Amino acid sequence: MNLGYKIFFRKSAERELKKMKDKGLLKLIGQEIYQVIAKDPYCGDRKKGGLKDIYTRPIRYPKSQYRIAYTIHEDIVTVEIIQVGSRENFYKELTRKI
């Protein structure tokens, strides 16, 4: 029985989450990470080109769209959360971090 993948956050992703003040949004992001991604990390959209090892999941929140970017480490059954943020400039910032 697979209990799911362990979740690891990059320091930059932790900082992004700490900047968010909306408790409802944080709860929604947490649910997406721990209840969806941890159980089936391949549910995300696999990116192409220079981001080919990155998966993303959209988060829809009233009047806003957010993304979670992560990589999957099968050898250690871990998901590394790279970035969490609003859709605006998300991929430009993600490319800079890779």
**pLDDT mean over 5-22:** 94
Residue 49 burial by Cβ neighbours in a 10 Å radius (0-12, 13-18, 19+): exposed
Give the mean pLDDT of the chain.
90
86 or 56, which is more confident? 56
Model pLDDT for residues 64-85, shown as the tens digit of each residue: 899 999 999 988 999 999 999 8
Res. 2: pLDDT tops 60: no
Residue bearing tokens 């969806």 = 36
Task: Say which CATH superfamily domain 6-96 falls into.
Answer: RelE-like (3.30.2310.20)
Res. 1: pLDDT tops 60: no
What is the identity of the amino acid at 12? S
**Predicted model pTM:** 0.88
76 or 98, which is more confident? 76
